[in-house]
Amino acid sequence: MADEGRTGASFALETQWGARPVEGGALFQLWAPDARSVALVAGEGGDDTRTLDMAREEDGWWRLVTDAVAVGGGYGFSVDGGKRVPDPASRSQVFDVHGPSRLVDPRAYEWRSTGWTGRPWHETVFYELHVGTFTPEGSFSGVISRLDHLRDAGITAIELLPIAQFGGRHGWGYDGVLLYCPHNVYGGYEGLKRLVDAAHERGIMVFLDVVYNHFGPDGNYLPAYLPSFFHADINTPWGPAIAYDEAPVRAFMIENALYWLEEFRLDGLRLDAIDSIKDTTDKSFVEELAETVRVRITDRHVHLTTEDERNITQFIERGADGSVPRISGEWNDDFHHAAHVLATNDREGYYIDYEWESAEQIARALATGFVYQGEHSPHRKKIVGEASEHLPPTAFVNFLQNHDQIGNRAFGDRLRSLSSARAFDCLQAILLLSPQIPLMFQGDEFGDCNSFCFFTDFDGELGAAVSRGRKAEFAHFSAFEDPSAQEVFPDPNDYSTFTTSRLDWSLLERPVNRRRLQVNSELLSLRREVLFPLLAQAPGDCGQAVVDGRAFIVSWQLAPGQFYHLFANLEDAEWEIGDDFDGTLLDDATEVFSNHAHTVEELKEGRMRGYSVAFILTGRDLTEGLSE
């Protein structure tokens, strides 16, 4: 694997792939087992460009040490006499994905926050953001300018959508092709380090969304000169599968994860759509990556999360002592889908698997993890999921909105604009004060309702194909029952689709948005004061739920003698809890939060007004003896 080198307040990771300064110049490395020759092309394409043959070594590696490229200089590779291609492990590009790579010195940046040891997992409050649309600047520096705002709001972790260099200037980032290279438009290699440093100085963790299931279509030269990187006989939605059974390919990806965590001192990674990784090895790539991270990085808190629609638990299992041997938490789409349907009665696509008339599914997600734990999914037409009640609540990352659930709607509309304000506010309180790890999308803290659409920056036939495909994807949805809707459908390659997806910070000048920020900040303050201490050792098998239509109670025993309760009524009518509920048990209860005055007094009387939420801490389980 790789060796880490540290000099003073600098951090670098020595990888098998890529280029780095060494004594005598710089070392250049490329795995190309099918090649007859490989040459280093030194320079940026001008008259000073030089071509130097590289030496073939064992197992298909080609290497060269030379002083022909200075730090900051451009270079690339020519395989079998072909045109220059960028280094697939380039840390920086001179121009874009099609141009030369740029040699950087990983140890040149002097870190200020060298004493940072991270934050424990249970203190995580995620804020997902897209660097290009988060601020008008669309850069890492722009994110830095808003870190104080996020810290004051109660955010403890920002999660960046993918930033690996992709084709074009703007896009979501899931079409990255140079996986070691921070996108130039955002501020590049040095800009990302400055952002992480600034965040750590404010006590904020930085996570990165990484994509290990495919490469993007624009600027991916690997198939042309390195066919062994892929399995031509295993297909994915993006083309041939990545050949994870090849040791150099596996190292490329695992070292990539270590690179972000060690050289940039990131606090965690989100592994995108791991169910789409076609891995033919006995030990799964995800398992090996996670275990490698746990073994290598022991001097600070580092966390890993996954997106996986299978609802499996093997990666998020806990050790006998409650430790995290692999993945810290799984994005729980089930919670989102159940909440979305309760708020909107949306019945299209995968939402047909979820109920509007009953809160049973959201209560199950809150109490025991997944909704689908081995049941048949009507949408997927198969059994989905595994039992998850044995896991602690912190094994799940819950959200009401994220880039996918907003941007993969035809018009990029947010839940707040689709639901009633009362429903959304109740669900937001449930999200932020339940014991699962919460995630908000950019602007949620002050109630932004602006669209966040899917956008790309592709030219020619690729751009036209993406635009056609996007329209075809939504053709059967009700949003297009009116043919005129096609006329205003946001074309992914129209520049205005990108610009109108920018976060509108001027909303903070409006009283209603300032109030929403105030409420969410107060909720996160309560989370910090009440939940953080309780979640440090939260066990599995701790949740119980009682459901009555769209009203429910969830009880979690988070510590010995500490029962944390959620009472929620998500309909207009008052909820009569029932004669078997003993309201006197609330006499010694601690009210953590309620969105209406006198809620606890009303609960003692066995009733709860419409669209109400309350969190209560007691010394015993209030759901005992209750029937649904």
d(CA 372, CA 332) in angstroms, rounded, equals 11
DSSP letters along 168-182, please?
SS-S-STTEEEEEEE
Contacts of 317 (CB under 8 A, 6+ apart): 325, 326, 391
Residue from 294, 324, 336, 307 nearest 395 by CA: 324
The span from the CA of 176 to the CA of 222, in Å, is 13
In whole angstroms, what is the distance from residue 526 CA to residue 411 CA? Answer: 35
Separation of alpha carbons 474 and 449, rounded Å: 21
Q: Which residues contact 17 (CB under 8 A, 6 or more apart)?
A: 29, 30, 31, 88, 89, 180, 248, 251, 252, 255
3-state secondary structure of 7: strand
Coil, strand or helix: which one is 428? Answer: helix
Q: How far apart are CA 38 and CA 237, in angstroms?
A: 31
CA dist., res. 242 & res. 277, Å (int): 8
Which residue, 153, 613, 552, is CA-closest to 429? 613
| Residue among 431, 463, 452, 410 at smallest CA distance from 615 | 431
How far apart, in whole angstroms, are the C-alpha atoms of residue 583 and residue 381?
43
Catalytic residues, by residue number, are 272, 307
Nearest Cα residue to 403 out of 214, 218, 211? 211
Annotate 139-161 with three-state secondary structure.
CHHHHHCCHHHHHHHCCCEEEEC
Residue 102: phi and psi, rounded to 5, are -120, 125
Q: How far apart (Å, rounded) are the C-alpha atoms in residues 610 and 572?
A: 4
Q: What is the DSSP string of 101-128?
A: EE---TT-S--S-TT-----GGG--EEE
Q: What does DSSP assign to residue 209? A: E
88's tokens: 């697939």
Q: Is 260 helix (H, G, I), strand (E, B) or coil?
A: helix
Query: Which backbone phi and psi does 457 adopt, to 5 degrees?
Result: -140, 55
Q: Which among 563, 560, 570 is positioned nearest to 608, based on CA atoms?
A: 570
* End-to-end alpha carbon distance in the chain: 55
Chain-centroid distance of CA 398 in Å reads 11
How far is it, in rounded angstroms, from Cα 315 to Cα 313?
Answer: 6
